[in-house]
Structure 1
Amino acid sequence: MKLSVPGRATGAATLAIAALLTTSAMADAAPARVAAAPDISVANVKAHLTQLQSIATANGGNRAHGRTGYKASLDYVKAKLDAAGFTTTVQQFTSSGSTGYNLIADWPGGDTNQVVMSGSHLDSVTSGPGINDNGSGSAAVLEAALAVSRTQYAPTKHLRFAWWGAEELGMVGSRYYVNSLSTANRAKISGYLNFDMIGSPNPGYFVYDDDPAIEKTFKDYFTGLGVATEIETEGDGRSDHAYFKSAGIPVGGLFTGASTRKTAAQAAKWGGTSGQAFDRCYHSSCDTTANINDTALNRNSDALAYAVWELSE
């Protein structure tokens, strides 16, 4: 709309015009959002799970620390990241007499004094293929990283992704990584996001409450979906965020439940079966690709990407 101004504007009109121009200039100067998080394809995440299942099947039925299935899983993830332009590092450690491996992937660019890190454990227990625990988190973190590459995302902060070894033996790989960092490098990590079991077949929607800002980011996403969340308590101190938190690094994450049984109130809120474990196949041979709730996996994968994009701007 064209603004008409008389030859001799009144004082009030002059002030109004000045206000409009000032507001316009402020709007022009306001920093725009770098980018909105992309929708993460659950089909792509499930394709990674199919590969992890095939690896387990070909290697004695598991992907456990010290077994051939774990190294094959790491090689699969690394190859995807290398092809997508990440700088990858394989970190070796020893646990229970066997060599273990962490995989670290850095996306070039961003302020390396402000690192937003996302991670998941890649190992399974020896009794099964570990597709929910924790193929689900590992596949979602991988697909989020690949989305960074596909969109050529250029955030203000530096992005780092990690896949941990020997979590099932006491978070050995993540402890080794945190302990290997200098005090200065620990201080550069502005947040660590952990994803462990995010596709449970009888799912709940649990958010870590360790850091208020990270917790709010995840809660905001689920509020936008109209999905209620609860504070995560079952996994406190039992996954890879524990050593980051102990080192003073802000942490957060998502979880859909393990062996704890879903209450009637939770079933009313989320659906599913009350009185039944969130994951009846927890640490069992039936933790296969059939042991995944697609809706939970999809929502949590998208929430993961949303948090990465929001927290790295």
Structure 2
Amino acid sequence: MRSTGSRPAWRDCGNWAASAALLLAVAALFVPALARPDRFLYPTFSPHSDLTIIHWPKVHLQAEAWQTTGTLPLWTPANLSGMPLAANQLAMRFYPPAWLLLPLADAGGAGFNLFFILHLWWAALGVYWLLRCGGRLDRLPALIGGLTFALSGKLLAHMAGGHLSLVAAVSWLPWAFGGLWRLFDARPTLSARLPWALLVGLALAMQLATHSLIVIYTAYLLSGYAVWEAVAGLRAGRRPTWALAGSLAVIPAAAVVLGAAPLWSLLELAGHSNRALSLAEAGQFAATPLSLVAGLLLPTGQAGHEAVIYLGLAP
């Protein structure tokens, strides 16, 4: 639902001080890890995680290739009899922030902890901007909203599970939604709406380079909100304009163009990966409804992030 009246610009929201406050709040969670930069973060129920099983080897392989050849590898011999690395989103080969991990590949968990801090901060800042500059909330509730999202149980569980690329993808969700919100609220001209369409496209492209499932969830959210705005506009007597249609068309175009490299590689590999499995094959080891209900009613830190449902504030 769109609010009325003018919204404060970024420079008028007190956002620079707020961004520093959000960064400090997120970093405070990592004080024990920052004190031991060589240590990795693990969940309470396991002595390892996807971070050291999946992400660290891929980062180390890319770092070695960069140091010896000056290029990033397209293939990894470390899985099965070898597999494409460029088409694996978990390698984040086409995600620029992940390149910061390469010089820290031999620094233990330091680089990964920094990666988590920056992306949880980016998620918090995105929600803050959405609530403060979009929803016109006061600074304190906007700050609380940002931290509530970034430090939510589900997101922290994924962090503990070592889901590096998933956390990165989720951090772009509020920027995608906020960009679409501002697009509908901007002046009804293509020039006014185009920057917000490009922001949404950029956020989706960053998700394409990190985790495809989050792209799908984000697309559901954006599509639902766009339909909501369209219906509300028709009820209010506002007709869709070419400027609105054009700006909305820019979003998928920008996402495909900016995310062409990971998208093309992913589509090429899909038919030869577990994405080609049938629904029955893919769900063979899925959590049962009984286990999910048990995780909902009797949550425990020993069950694991894949066996617990997070309702959030929906009820």
TM-score (norm 2): 0.29
Q: Which structure: larger Rg?
A: 1
Normalized per residue, the structure richer in strand is: 1
| Structure with the larger RCO, 1 or 2 (CA within 8 Å, 6+ apart) | 1
TM-score (norm 1): 0.29
